[in-house]
Homo-oligomer: A and B are copies of this chain.
Amino acid sequence: MNYEFPKAGKDLETIMEEIGSAEEMNLNFSSGNVFGSMCTRPLNIAKEVYTRFLESNLGNPGLYPGTVRLEKEVHEAIGSLIHAGDIESHSVGGGTEGNIMALWRAREKSGNKKVLLPKSAHFSFKKACSLLDMTEEYLPLTDRYQTDIGALEDKLDEETAAVVGIAGTTELGVIDPIEKMAEISGDIHFHVDAAFGGMVIPFMDEDMPSFDFQIQGVDTLIVDPHKMGMSPVPLGLFYSKSKDSISVDSPYLSGEKQKSLRGTRASASIPAFWATINLLGKEGYKDVIDECMENTSYLVSRMEEKGFELIIEPSMNIASFRCETPKNIVEDMKEKGWNISRTINPLGLRFVVMPHVSKQSIDEMVEVLDEIR
């Protein structure tokens, strides 16, 4: 029986009871039970600001000059982290939209359709290629799970539209040899998917490899504040060296052109993220990253105590362990109220140690996992 559009309105109490029961069914980040999400709990200030800007829609920017101002500042602040200078940038819905934008530009610029990307690339590239009528060609990985440079050299040719490098792979948090890849790509469009790593690497203590516009050959880059930036969803930032090769007129709206994918763009995340940046500052983000990395080490030691074997030493706050039957274990953990994730290449269990994960929740999770496996 399908749910019917109600004839008359119901009373508030009945409605809020049903809303409450749906809310209780959801997992939430504060419970500490979520190890399979690259998003996290926003700060209270972000929630408060979000609510105040709920109407903001930068698809119709003339109505929201205040949001536009904060958007510019957010783009510049993150731009300064990734050495973007004054290049073009757009607020997007996240990594998927950013990756689509990058390949769209590459196709328009080159007239080509071949995309070279590592086997570790996010599945959104498959979606992007289907949408854009382009073809993915996957590059093998080294034993460090980075893009094989030799394979890139072999496969790159005049029909290549774009090369993709990843700064923080989804499954293992690995950073590709971006500088080398950019160099080999030459004039061919080189896109960096830093959706996860872009808000981690700049705040790390150790000497990390370059992954951003410091490298001459990087043409476009996506970073997601709604991942490690702790912005409420949705917020991705797409940076592009090439001027808008894609834009359509939007005369009836208060902006004259639209240059990104979405029409209506819910934009309350922007002021919410602006507030988060300003409350934490670089120092605050460093502290957050430090704690995530410390907790990642803690999780690794607890897992190793139980006999699990790391796939690779984590370079950011993602740790994955070899496992022949990850799908079953993920399902069993779900039944116990725990969200963990899995990897395909190679098969494994995957844990993202986001800011909402504590040592205590790691301890609890590891015990449950040890019991059910």
Contact = CB atoms under 8 A, between A and B. Distances in A.
A342 interface: yes
A307 interface: no
Number of copies: 2
Interface string A153-172: 00000000000000000110
B51 A254 contact: no
Contact of A66 (B5, B26, B278): B26
Interface residues of A, number: 120
A66 B20 CA distance: 9
A354 B258 CA distance: 23
Interface stretch (A32-40, A308-316, A362-370): A32-40
A54 B65 contact: no
Contacts of A15: 45, 275, 278-279
A37 B66 contact: no
Interface string A57-71: 101101111110110
A2 B82 CA distance: 13
**A25, A55, A62, A81 pick with most chain B CB within 10 angstroms:** A55
A54 B234 CA distance: 10
Contact of A104 (B59, B122, B131, B284): B131
Interface stretch (A91-99, A144-152, A184-192): A91-99
A39 B264 contact: yes
A119 interface: no
Interface in A70-87: 70, 72-74, 76-81, 86
B5 A77 contact: yes
Contacts of A51: 47, 50-51
Contacts of A261: 96-97, 100, 127, 131, 261
Nearest to A107: B133
A350 interface: yes
Contact of A52 (B8, B23, B36): B23
Interface string A352-372: 000000000000000000000
A57 to B, nearest CB: 5
Contacts of A344: 251-252
Nearest to A85: B2
